[in-house]
Structure 1
Amino acid sequence: MDANSNKTSTSPSAAPLVSIVCPAYNQEAYVAQTLEGFLMQQTTFAFEILVNDDASTDGTARIIADYAKRFPTLIRPFYHETNQYSQNNPPVPRLFGEARGRYIAYCEGDDYWTDPRKLQIQVDFLENNPDYVLTYHDAIPFDISGQYPIQLQGKLRGDATALELQKARPISTLTTVFRNVFDSLPPELRAAPLNDLVWWSLLGAYGKGKFMGEVKPAMYRLHPGGVFSMRSNKRKLHMALQTSGALANYYNRLGNQELYEHFLMELVEYSLSAITPKRKMQTLLAVGQNFSTNISKRLMTSLSKGHVQ
């Protein structure tokens, strides 16, 4: 962790099979419900809870400290004196590096789980299926007005191939349990704002993803303090654009042409979505002219090579 962080020295008496990772910031009203969702888990194996307070200015750190005092063999709290997210230095995935478990379960401090068998079901599957790297299930968005339809629809409520994961397929982040295979990001990906999409892409190098419909949906809270959910559509689009660009750079360095071109195409699509209709037409005309010019050059080169006097 950074120089301004500090953690407890206590750790679970038994080596945990699962590490629950929970970043929190200014979630005084919600974090207790999140922690209770962890503590209610019924498992045949040991697990630990790593909860990180990113220099909250409300009572979040106090609530975390109270739970850590009550459950010292389960909860490992981390506290920052300076907010790391605002300095483009988010505590995750570095917090993954602190995890002792073979598997990581992820849930932020304003969301919560509803199924006490969640961890057991997802971990049992991963233990018995080494070709899978990630499991996930449904999540229901909600706010003070009530609940909304499940977060992911259609084909996204199904399994993912390794390639689909590498292409950063959307997944309900608060529902995931995955193998603990990385604790840092490649340099191209460290500034990508949609870091969960980056995680899925990296995990795809290790296996497939399994959708588990038998697990009760988790609850995804929409509120003004949400890091992503309450951003403007314009800001969300810009975050997606930046993330696709970062992934394109990463796969270009690896020499993976298929994934490089996939994220370049996403970059183009997001860029077109971000500009005004007038600019969009100008851009498409310019692309068409550029395409015609390049095709003409290639044809002339081919003809001159094949012509014999």
Structure 2
Amino acid sequence: MESLGKEKIFSEARRRAEDPELPLISVCVVTYNHRPYLSDCLDGILKQEGDFRLEILIHDDASEDGARELIEDYERRFPEIIKPILQTENQYSKGKTNITGIFNIPRARGEFLAVMDGDDYYCDTRKLEKQIRCFQRERELVFCFHSAKVLLPDGSFGNSALMRPYRGSRILSGAELVDRRGGAPFASFLFRREILETLPDYYFDCPVGDRPLEWIAASCGKSFYLDEPLSVYRFQHSGSWTREQGEGEREKKQRRYREAMEKSFLEFDRESGGRFHPEIERAIGRLRFLSDVNLRDFPEIYRRGNREFYRELSLRDRFFLQFERRLPGLYRAMQKRFGQGIG
């Protein structure tokens, strides 16, 4: 995929000049059974301050908890902004895993495109404006993202390092983005829409929607990381991906996820002509290591070959891993008592 040239930027400016009613930002929201959280999500978008128009493109995947009715109410109140797709059959269960790219991105009209899940929300009313300013300062940027607060099911805020991949705001090369350490919140993503007009096969084959979008950005130009927690990421809440992965056949899900992600990384490696091959190899190694951490495979966690990735963990995470490894009974008792505040 080629870098976004200046001519494309200028053509987008001409398009907007010809139709001033076009939104500057299209916010793509995907939701399924997020009724308890959806008002926070939509209100956080609607409260955004700045000199720009926006549209909210919502895809509801046949929710069964009243989310559809809530979306219809918002559409009645904000018909010029809220643009829903309300499915009657669940599309994810039919194998359409990356809903954003299938249903929302193709109908986006904005110069910039934001993405998020319906259980997360913006916690800064100038979140989008701050990101737009980054694009205005650095014309070669194609992607901007930031850190997030981590909200636990008990209402407290958890380990902020979970969604803070870097320390300090800065421009990132494509290689740095591919070999990213730590989580990047989906609700922080803002792209130039042009780079997502044609989505590669690896996007649709990937088991998650965030990483392949980052790979596309890495192939197209520079990115900017804004080291401010401008959104909130719900961790282990009902209906969340993190909760779903931890329930039922946990080990089987982890291994299936790891295998699918490795396959997607290798597809991206082929698509990019090996341009990021060293970074992809390291990212796959990190993926395997973090899977071992999630499964508490201590022999693998402390294997000599994983020392690089172990050192990337926060001191807090390393402490609790050692605690659980050496005193598993006490660790489980404390986790039962204090919940997600431990480990």
TM-score range, shorter chain: 0.7 to 0.9
Provide Cα deviations, 1:60-89, integer angstroms capped at 9, x if missing partner: 011001001100011111111221112221
- Mapped partners of 1:132, 1:279: distance in 2: 38
Q: What pairs with 1:1-309 in structure 2 (closer than 5 Å)?
A: 14-89=21-96, 90-94=98-102, 95-145=104-154, 146-150=156-160, 151-153=162-164, 155=166, 158-159=169-170, 160-167=172-179, 170-180=183-193, 181-213=195-227, 215-222=228-235, 223-232=237-246, 234=251, 235-236=253-254, 238-256=256-274, 258-260=275-277, 262-264=279-281, 266-267=283-284, 270=287
- Mapped partners of 2:184, 2:231: distance in 1: 13
Q: Indicate if the aligned counterparts of 1:27 and 1:110 stay in contact, CA closer than 8 A.
A: yes
Deviation at residue 157 of structure 1 after TM alignment: 5.2
Deviation at residue 251 of structure 1 after TM alignment: 1.9
Deviation at residue 127 of structure 1 after TM alignment: 2.6
Provide Cα deviations, 1:83-121, integer angstroms capped at 9, x if missing partner: 111222132112111110011112211111111111111
Deviation at residue 224 of structure 1 after TM alignment: 2.6
Q: Indicate if the aligned counterparts of 2:60 and 2:86 stay in contact, CA closer than 8 A.
A: yes
- Mapped partners of 1:229, 1:158: distance in 2: 30
- Mapped partners of 1:207, 1:177: distance in 2: 14
Q: Indicate if the aligned counterparts of 2:27 and 2:54 stay in contact, CA closer than 8 A.
A: yes
- Mapped partners of 2:167, 2:133: distance in 1: 22
The residue identity in structure 1 corresponding to 2:31 is A
Deviation at residue 225 of structure 1 after TM alignment: 1.2
Q: Indicate if the aligned counterparts of 2:143 and 2:190 stay in contact, CA closer than 8 A.
A: yes
SS of the equivalent of 2:199 reads coil
The alignment's TM-score, normalised by the length of structure 1, stands at 0.77
- For these two proteins, the number of residue pairs brought into alignment is 268
SS of the equivalent of 2:35 reads coil
Report the RMSD for the aligned CA atoms in angstroms. Answer: 2.9
The alignment's TM-score, normalised by the length of structure 2, stands at 0.70
The residue identity in structure 1 corresponding to 2:49 is Q
Provide Cα deviations, 1:124-158, integer angstroms capped at 9, x if missing partner: 22133122111122211112321112133463654
Deviation at residue 278 of structure 1 after TM alignment: 8.9
CA spacing shift, 1:269–1:143, aligned 2, 3 Å: closer
